[in-house]
């Protein structure tokens, strides 16, 4: 019988495959020389950028669905993601991107999307089919049933940074405001009944660029939070520390989106005595909190989605933190009714809307590692009305 540790291994493995695809798409000289050649022609260039972006996104999502669905039949019908698998190529033809059992068949389908470019299609198909051995993940068998679980997948978070492809951004205090480092692959597992996250894998495909080979290497993080079991690759939980959380300068700090409101930015700037950073990518900002680079990630807008948060949420829970619904927490704080802060849940859609908005995190969010940090944010923002 499949266990939670089998699922963790499978998710880490497929996230590494996804990272390979993300790197392969960016590394492909043909695609990039085409991009450069088309720079003069604004319209075509835009169309190409959009299509190229979509292909990486769609292919990664299909690979995750295929690999996990094949190994875990119970999960097959509960893998949800940001993208549909329908893809429009430059000629306006609609193509359903999917994985075949045979690498050649996948390559043939991809070449239709890529205007007949079989060489590039083969590079991507090989990355999509090639198994990635995982040698550095050891967990004891976890006696947690995997029935009744669903998955939220964001195949490439921070697509804007992925397309821009800036490789020489410099971190400030360990944190990147922009650049390829802000790109993440997010795979979150949640309980279909309670809506609570139970497992998360986050992969950062672009961490270090080797100047000699011009190749990137990445890293991954995981966390499990189920009942009394809390394990992660970030803390020494279970003695399996993979990445140590770096020690932070003293003082309360927040990471924000540049698109947040002036008022929220000002209130937090004041409350954090200037220790506010801005960074791209909802997943990356959560990762900054997970790694202790920032105490909280606050966002007062509705523009993040369940697939942005499920994976980091599980890791944060495993560390004793979480991701709370900002508006609901502020309401409860004002009413003085709060016993437990309201966490995001992943099984209930927003009523009365359709499309991706059904899964928007309405009311904003606070990602935190400790409850006292969440409470501090709520006090600082107590005067805002969402």
- List residues binding ligand 2IP (CB under 6 A): 82, 154, 157-160, 257-259, 280-282, 303-305, 308
Cβ count within 10 A of residue 84: 11
Nearer to ligand 2IP, 124 or 286 (CB): 286
Distances from the Cα of 191 to the Cαs of 28, 139, 150, 207, 236, in angstroms? 38, 21, 6, 31, 25
| For ligand 2IP, the closer CB: 257 or 325 | 257
Give the shortest CB-158-to-Ca ion separation in angstroms.
7
The answer to whether residue 154 is catalytic is yes
Q: CA–CA separation, 336 vs 347, rounded Å?
A: 27
Residue 251 touches which of Ca ion, ligand 2IP, none (Cβ within 5-8 Å per kind): none
| In the complex, least distance from residue 51 CB atom to ligand 2IP, rounded to whole angstroms | 16
Nearest approach, Cβ of residue 307 and Ca ion (Å): 6
Two structure tokens written together for 139: 């967990």
Whether 302 is a known active-site residue: answer no
Looking at 156, 187, 290, 315, which residue is catalytic? 156
Q: Which of 286, 300, 90 is nearest to 200 (CA)?
A: 286
- CB-nearer residue toward ligand 2IP: 41 or 86: 86
74 is catalytic: no
Q: What are phi and psi of 51, to 5 degrees?
A: -65, -40
Per DSSP (E only), the strands in 300-358 are: 322-325
Q: Single out the catalytic residue among 106, 159, 184, 235.
A: 159
Output the smallest distance, CB 150 to ligand 2IP, in A.
19
155 binds, among ligand 2IP, Ca ion, none (CB under 5 to 8 A by kind): none
User: Is 258 among the catalytic positions?
Assistant: no
Tell me the CA distances in angstroms from 116 to 63, 108, 126, 330, one per residue in order.
21, 9, 17, 54
Q: Residue 20 and residue 302: Cα distance in Å, rounded?
A: 31
Binding of Ca ion by 83 (CB under 5 A)? no
Q: Is 308 a catalytic residue?
A: yes
> Contact with Ca ion (CB under 5 A): which of 154, 328, 343, 373?
154
Catalytic residue flag (residue 337) = no
Residue 34: HSE in the Cβ half-sphere, 13 Å Cα cutoff: 19
- Figure out which of the listed residues 67, 157, 328, 373 binds Ca ion, where binding follows CB under 5 A: 157
Closest C-alpha to 164, from 52, 5, 282, 37: 52
Which CB, 160 or 246, lies closer to ligand 2IP? 160
Structure-derived torsion over alpha carbons of residues 259, 256, 304, 224, reported in degrees to the nearest 10? 170
Q: Output the six-digit token pair for 157.
A: 């978070």
How far apart CA 235 and CA 243 sit, in angstroms, is 7
Catalytic annotation present for 290:
no
DSSP 92-124: --EEE----SSHHHHHHHHHHHTTT-HHHHHHH
Nearer to Ca ion, 83 or 154 (CB): 154
Contact, 209 vs 216, CB < 8 A? yes
Alpha-carbon Rg for the chain in angstroms: 21
Q: How far is the CB of 248 from ligand 2IP (least distance, A)?
A: 21
Q: Least CB distance from residue 36 to ligand 2IP, whole Å?
A: 23
Catalytic one of 308, 328, 343, 373: 308
Q: How far is the CB of 325 from ligand 2IP (least distance, A)?
A: 15
**CA dist., res. 159 & res. 183, Å (int):** 7
Site for Ca ion, residues 181 to 240, rule: CB under 5 A: none
- The active-site residue, picked from 28, 83, 154, 343, is 154
- Per-residue contact track with Ca ion, 295 to 334, x per CB under 5 A? -------------x--------------------------
Active-site residue set: 57, 82, 154, 156-157, 159, 308
Residues that bind Ca ion (CB under 5 A): 154, 157, 308
């Amino acid at each position: 019988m499949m266990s939670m540790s089998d699922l963790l291994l499978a998710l880490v493995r497929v996230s590494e495959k996804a990272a390979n695809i993300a790197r392969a798409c960016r590394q492909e000289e043909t695609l990039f020389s085409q991009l450069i050649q088309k720079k003069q022609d604004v319209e075509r260039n835009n169309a190409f950028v959009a299509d190229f972006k979509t292909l990486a996104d769609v292919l990664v999502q299909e690979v995750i669905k295929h690999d996990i669905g094949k190994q875990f039949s119970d999960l097959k019908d509960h893998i949800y993601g940001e993208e549909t698998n329908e893809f429009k190529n430059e000629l306006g033809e609609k193509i359903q991107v999917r994985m075949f059992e045979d690498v050649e068949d996948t390559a043939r389908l991809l070449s239709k999307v890529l205007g007949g470019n079989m060489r590039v299609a083969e590079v991507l198909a090989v990355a999509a089919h090639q198994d990635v051995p995982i040698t550095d993940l050891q967990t004891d068998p976890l006696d947690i049933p995997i029935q009744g679980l669903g998955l939220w997948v964001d195949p490439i978070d921070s697509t804007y940074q992925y397309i821009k492809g800036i490789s020489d951004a410099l971190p400030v205090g360990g944190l990147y405001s922009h650049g390829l480092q802000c790109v993440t692959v997010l795979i979150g597992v949640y309980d279909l009944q309670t809506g609570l996250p139970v497992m998360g894998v986050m992969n950062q495909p672009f961490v270090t660029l080797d100047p000699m080979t011009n190749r990137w290497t990445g890293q991954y993080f995981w966390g499990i939070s189920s009942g009394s079991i809390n394990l992660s690759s970030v803390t020494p939980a279970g003695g399996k520390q993979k990445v140590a959380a770096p020690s932070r300068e003293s003082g309360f700090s927040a990471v924000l989106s540049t698109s947040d409101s002036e008022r929220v930015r000002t209130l937090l700037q004041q409350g954090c005595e200037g220790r506010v950073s801005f960074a791209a990518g909802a997943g990356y900002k959560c990762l900054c909190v997970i790694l202790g680079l920032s105490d909280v990630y606050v966002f007062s807008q509705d523009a993040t989605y369940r697939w942005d948060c499920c994976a980091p949420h599980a890791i944060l829970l495993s560390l004793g933190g979480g991701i709370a619904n900002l508006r609901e927490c502020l309401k409860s704080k004002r009413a003085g009714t709060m016993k437990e802060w309201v966490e995001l849940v992943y099984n209930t859609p927003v009523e009365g809307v359709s499309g991706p908005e059904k899964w928007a995190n309405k009311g904003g969010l606070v990602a935190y590692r400790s409850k006292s940090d969440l409470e501090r944010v709520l006090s600082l923002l107590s005067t805002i009305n969402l």
